[in-house]
Amino acid sequence: MKLALNGATTMKADLVTDIRAAEAAGFDFVEIWASKLRKYLVTHSAVDLRKLFDQSGLEPLSINSIEHVTFRGPDDYDAIKAECEELSSLAATLRCPYIVVVPGRLPEQAPSLEEIIDESVRVLTDLGTIAERHGVALAFEFLGQADCSVQTLELADEIVRRVDRPDVGLVIDSFHFYAGGSTIDMIETLAPESLFVFHINDAENLPREQLQDSHRLLPGLGILPLAEMLKAFKRIGYDRVASVEIFRPEYWERDPFELARDAKAATERVLASV
């Protein structure tokens, strides 16, 4: 399995540093954090960034992310579609295959399961049509937090199946997989081609309902069922990319080159153990 470094792991570093640190550590890909991309583009062009990737020998895996895309008002939804157009155009120039999109929070009046599915299918179809014009695909990431409208792999997979587009697939984040109560059986039923991005990380030993992003750890240092997940991926034939995504403020204070080296080594140890 090839490896990617996600810009959230090194949040305080800029995009150029992310690429240089990933290159020095021996990663294959970088997941581009969208806010870092916008800062870079203040003084550079997307063509400049593509040249930087060419020089590094790395490839961009995704742009992270368009947030809270469902259950939005008309003005907010227009802004989301405009953001999808913007990022899709940039991704095309960068030869970046995926944009990560994240479902919205549950509305105050809790919708039914079918209403969540219908809303998610509608939005992913709209955004997928925008991305398709640029030759870019959307990777839909469910979140395990209790206020998210799509909390499990099972529900996210059902939504993606109903969208029924080859350019709309899934993100599985090991933290959200665990926090939201997803199960290994849910991986077993996946079509491997529908899994576009796998975010690998670990977490502190806390009850699921207490887990926050800041409790994430490097792979192998916590209690997430990474070995079981990786074995299930092997059984369904998924062996593409594991991307290290860790929102831990303690890590953000570290030297990004050192952190990237440690992240790659930790991930390789976990992969080698399976």
**What is the average per-residue pLDDT within 133-153?**
98
Res 211: pLDDT? 97
**What is the average per-residue pLDDT within 179-192?**
97
Question: What value does the mean pLDDT of the chain take?
Answer: 98
Res 123: pLDDT? 98
Instruction: Determine contact, residues 120/150, Cβ cutoff 8 Å.
Output: yes
Res 27: pLDDT? 98
Sequence-distant (6+) residues with CB within 8 A of 113 are 155
Sequence-distant (6+) residues with CB within 8 A of 209 are 146
Can you tell me the distance from the alpha carbon of 143 to that of 127, in angstroms, rounded to the nearest whole number?
19
Instruction: Determine contact, residues 95/107, Cβ cutoff 8 Å.
Output: no
Portion of the chain with pLDDT greater than 90, in percent:
100
The DSSP element (H or E) to which 16 belongs, if any, is helix 15-25
- The CATH code of the domain at 7-272 is 3.20.20.150
Tokens of 170: 């899934």
What are the residue boundaries of the structural domains of the chain, listed by start?
Answer: 7-272
Res 236: pLDDT? 98
Instruction: Determine contact, residues 187/162, Cβ cutoff 8 Å.
Output: no
Can you tell me the distance from the alpha carbon of 173 to that of 60, in angstroms, rounded to the nearest whole number?
18
Res 108: pLDDT? 92
Instruction: Determine contact, residues 125/160, Cβ cutoff 8 Å.
Output: no
Helix/strand/coil for 47: helix
Instruction: Determine contact, residues 124/111, Cβ cutoff 8 Å.
Output: no
Tokens of 255: 């030297």
Res 260: pLDDT? 98
Res 191: pLDDT? 96
Q: What are phi and psi of 172, to 5 degrees?
A: -115, 120
Tokens of 263: 């992240």
Res 3: pLDDT? 98
Can you tell me the distance from the alpha carbon of 125 to that of 271, in angstroms, rounded to the nearest whole number?
35
Res 186: pLDDT? 98
Res 57: pLDDT? 97
In the chain, at which residue ranges do the beta strands (DSSP E only) sit? 2-6, 29-33, 59-66, 98-101, 137-141, 168-173, 195-200, 202-203, 216-217, 241-244
Can you tell me the distance from the alpha carbon of 238 to that of 1, in angstroms, rounded to the nearest whole number?
9
164 CB neighbour count, 10 Å cutoff = 9
Answer left, alpha or beta for residue 68, where phi above 0 means left and psi between -120 and 50 means alpha.
Answer: left
Q: What are phi and psi of 179, to 5 degrees?
A: -65, -35
Can you tell me the distance from the alpha carbon of 18 to that of 206, in angstroms, rounded to the nearest whole number?
30
pLDDT digits (tens, 9 = 90+) for 206-237: 999 999 999 999 999 999 999 999 999 999 99
pLDDT digits (tens, 9 = 90+) for 13-32: 999 999 999 999 999 999 99
